[in-house]
Amino acid sequence: MKRFWLLLLVSAFTLVFASELNVAVLGDVRSLNPFLVKSSAERIVVGYLYETLLTESAGQIVGALAEDFQVDFSNNSLILRLKDRKFHDGSPVTADDVVFSFNYILQKRLPLGPILAYFTGAEKIDEKTGRLKFRTVNVSMLSFAPMAVPIIPKSIWEKIDKPLEFPNIEKPIGSGVLAFEKLTPQSVVMKFFKDHPDAPKQLDGVVFHIVQDETMGFLGLVKGDYDYLFWNLDPELAKHVMDNPKKYPDVKVALIEGGVVNVILFNHRKAPMNDVNFRKAVLYALNYQELVEKVYSGLADVASLGLIPRRAKGVFDESVGCVQRNISMAKEFLKKCNYDGKKLTLLVSSDRKTMDMAEYIRLYLKDVGIQVELDVQGPEGLTTKLKKADFDLALYSYSLGSHPEMVFYHLHSSRGEMKDGQVVGFNYGGVNIPELDAALESIWMAFSERDRVDAFMGLQKLFAELVPVVPLLVPVDIEAYSTKNFTGWVVLPGEGVMNAETFKSLKPVR
């Protein structure tokens, strides 16, 4: 009888002190299908549900589901051995699931297909070992297919004939640190998967609260309704919080080196944007430091002329440097090109920060004799115009901090071809410079880390010469969290606040 009451007391204690982290995310959650992610909120939740074979930690490629891996150059393949891991339904993750996950993408022509451009198929070696086969193998392959493709359970997905019509919101099963509990119009409730090695013992789960407005999200953080905001805080607001700690005693701001590069795209299919002299005139017309201060309240860095951000530490070339405004040089370059003074369009997103930057850029260009008018579009309109190459210049951004090899997809001529009135890849500007193509291809021909670094170094120097796009700024990642309900937050360089160490260290404030 005493044992019964003791167990009841323990259960009651656990119930009272059950701990859930409350996180705010932006956008709707209508699908948890990893191949149909559209909103920021969906991308975040899916990232915790599903895992890949490899991941990145402290700038190094490490195993996620894979215990170890080796490149077999003789057979153009990557061999990976799996850890002893389980899916959320208790079934083991096997080589069959890995082979199915990769081949399924090709068979069903799923949106991740471009990531597998050089991939030819996967095969099972034994229950815990699989082989990924490619047309050619190089060191950059590790940053793509094994780090991008979610491993899904074959037993479930082999029954899904039309995956692009499958919302996957009833009972999604992955192997990630968080397992699905329920979806409501206001939130996604997830519990820590106790069989996962990174699952903390002192936390029960995470509730992702769906919010549509950043201001309301911040007010919720101040009140203690939310413990973390899963988006970058506005720089002006971040500065206000940091300058007034007494007003916001529980709100903390973490500044993380950014990996996203803001750029000006040129539509190389048109004159004068296809003239390097015009592109250099734009390059030297801009006041980059003023953009840092006025648009980002100082919480950004001027981008390297080589385009690759400092966060891509292994391949970043410090010697390329940044550019400074030089109006006389801008005017000299403008004289050398065939610009006739006509008004050009600058395609921009309708969000406030981009609009502010665009207005400054418009004035800078006017100072040197380049006339532009803003073409302001919402997210869908912007994407449509980019895909149709319906612009002269455009404000855009490249995420290159973790995967600098993505520059190939943004600037190689093969990714900018038009088919049925649409750009086939991410090279919306239609950059088509043979010398640049050769340099981009050299990345994919790098069969050692030394070759890869050398290829990137040469590429960055070429960027500075040819200016296929104008690198603008690299905004600092600004994360906001609250210590009102939990202590033990850990900020890691390159990873930020929501990391495995934070999960293990967080303790509820009693």
pLDDT tens for each residue of 1-25: 444 444 444 444 434 445 899 999 9
Q: What is the pLDDT of residue 14?
A: 39
Percent of the chain, pLDDT > 90?
77
Domain ranges of the chain: 18-27+176-257+480-508, 51-164, 260-475
For tokens 């939740």, name the residue. 45
**Mean pLDDT, residues 159-169 taken together:** 94
The domain made up of 18-27+176-257+480-508 has a fold known as D-Maltodextrin-Binding Protein; domain 2 (3.40.190)
pLDDT tens for each residue of 35-45: 988 888 999 99
Percent of the chain, pLDDT > 70?
94
Q: Domain 260-475's class? A: alpha beta
Q: What is the pLDDT of residue 140?
A: 67
250: CB partners within 8 A, 6+ apart: 222, 224, 482, 483, 484
Residue type, position 177, single letter: V
Name the β-bridge partners of 230: none
Other beta carbons less than 10 A from residue 70's beta carbon? 9
Among 307, 401, 411, 291, residue whose Cα is nearest residue 353 = 291
**For residue 277, what are its two tokens?**
């002299």
For residues 455 and 436, give the distance between their C-alpha atoms in angstroms, rounded to a whole number: 12
Task: Assess whether the previous peptide bond of 272 is cis (omega < 30° from 0).
Answer: yes
Q: What is the pLDDT of residue 41?
A: 93
pLDDT tens for each residue of 493-510: 878 999 989 999 999 987
Residue 116 confidence class, pLDDT cut points 50, 70, 90: confident
Please check whether the two domains, 18-27+176-257+480-508 and 51-164, share a CATH topology. Answer: no
Q: What is the pLDDT of residue 444?
A: 78
141: left (phi over 0), alpha (psi -120 to 50) or beta: alpha
Other beta carbons less than 10 A from residue 429's beta carbon? 28
- pTM equals 0.86
pLDDT tens for each residue of 414-472: 999 999 999 988 999 999 999 999 999 998 777 778 888 999 999 999 999 999 999 99
Among 146, 120, 151, 143, residue whose Cα is nearest residue 133 = 120
What distance separates the 2 farthest-apart alpha carbons in the chain? Answer: 95
Instruction: For domain 51-164, give the CATH superfamily.
Output: Dipeptide-binding Protein; Domain 1 (3.90.76.10)
Exposure string for 121-136, b = 16+ CB within 10 A, e = fewer = ebebeeebbbbbbbee
**Following DSSP, what letter does each residue of 450-504 receive, concatenated?**
HHHHHHHHHHHHHHHHH-SEEE-EEEPEEEEEE-SSEE----BTTTBSSSHHHHH
For residues 411 and 417, give the distance between their C-alpha atoms in angstroms, rounded to a whole number: 11
